Structure 1
Amino acid sequence: MSAKNAWRQTVARVVKSEMSVRGVKYQDLSQRLAAIGIEQSADNLRNKVNKGIMGADLLLQILLVLKARPIDASVLEEILTDLNAY
């Protein structure tokens, strides 16, 4: 897997993990973002998250509305190691 693809998959895993822990679906995420003035459809969010491609601003906004747990370097290293094992 290329480094670029590994990082994109890492973004996807982090966001999906936080959504899963809180039982948040894409429609819920869209509504939470709308509450802070960010308009993103559920379908658009699904595409961006699944591809792991989004701007840093949207990533931070998503983590904020999900009240995400702290992410430290060891978590990122673990995900990247898992991805590079394939």
Structure 2
Amino acid sequence: MKHEQSIHNKNALKPYKQAISRYIRSAMVLKGMKYDQLSERLLDKGIDLTSDNLRSKVSKGMFSADLLVAIIDILQVEEVAMSEILKLID
């Protein structure tokens, strides 16, 4: 892939990353869950991430699809997550 295409893709995906970050943070607030609690719940599923690492990933909106699905599962928002994330895209 050419460098300018990579930059174009990065810019095109930015609203999605921001929407995912906003949604995960708001879902955590609504569920009363802190990053350390989310980290513990992920560890229960065999996913070992520190709360700082998790906070960084959520802040940047940079996580794999499988981690996103695990977080959505833990937060128990699977029925509304995708539609709510898509509503947040600018």
Indicate the TM-score class for this superposition, using the shorter chain for normalisation. 0.7 to 0.9
1:26 aligns with 2:1: no
Query: How is 1:2-81 mapped onto 2 (pairs within 5 angstroms)?
Result: 2-68=11-77, 70-71=79-80, 74-80=83-89
Larger radius of gyration: 2
CA contact (8 A) 2:18 2:60 kept: yes
Offset from partner CA, 1:49-82 (integer Å, 9 cap, x none): 00001000000001111112522665334211xx
TM-score, length-scaled by structure 1 = 0.82
Q: Tell me the C-alpha RMSD between the 2 structures.
A: 1.7
Structure 1 gaps, min length 5: none
Contact 2:20 2:85 in 1 (8 A): no
Aligned length: 80
Cα distance in 2 between the residues matched to 1:45 and 1:34: 12
Paired with 2:81 and 2:20, the residues of 1 have a C-alpha distance of 13
